[in-house]
């Protein structure tokens, strides 16, 4: 906490300089790149996802539209779409387990 508060105080004293503003813009671009790279690495995992590739792409597209186009708050979009996706996956996995149990009992 002391480190974060110290950095905040330091930033407060140099926030108006073009160098600090440029550095923050650069850090934002790096963060966006890291998030995109992580997403690209996770594309291979969509083949084994419980919801399937098409549903995952649809949910991602809905999330993009809600945040980037409609400008809805990120927290609410993730809460609603993420929660709905988790419930959907839970139900799909539950049905798969039930079907597997029925096959094993037969």
Q: What is the pLDDT of residues 46-80, one digit of tens each?
A: 888 889 999 999 999 999 999 999 999 999 999 99
Q: What predicted TM-score, i.e. pTM, was given to this entire model?
A: 0.66
Find the angle CA(86)-CA(45)-CA(95) to the nearest 5 degrees: 45
Q: Looking at 5-19, 22-36, 49-63, which range is the least confident one?
A: 5-19
Local confidence band at 106 (pLDDT 50, 70, 90 cut-offs): low
Residues 6+ apart with CB under 8 A from 66: 72, 77, 81
């Amino acid at each position: 906490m002391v480190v974060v508060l110290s950095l905040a105080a330091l930033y407060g004293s140099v926030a108006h300089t073009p160098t600090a503003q440029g550095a923050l813009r650069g850090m934002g671009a790096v963060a966006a790149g890291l998030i995109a790279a992580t997403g690209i690495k996770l594309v291979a995992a969509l083949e084994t996802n419980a919801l399937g590739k098409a549903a995952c792409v649809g949910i991602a597209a809905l999330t993009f539209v809600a945040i980037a186009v409609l400008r809805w708050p990120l927290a609410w979009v993730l809460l609603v779409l993420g929660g709905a996706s988790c419930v959907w996956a839970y139900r799909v996995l539950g049905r798969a387990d039930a079907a597997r149990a029925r096959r094993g009992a037969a």
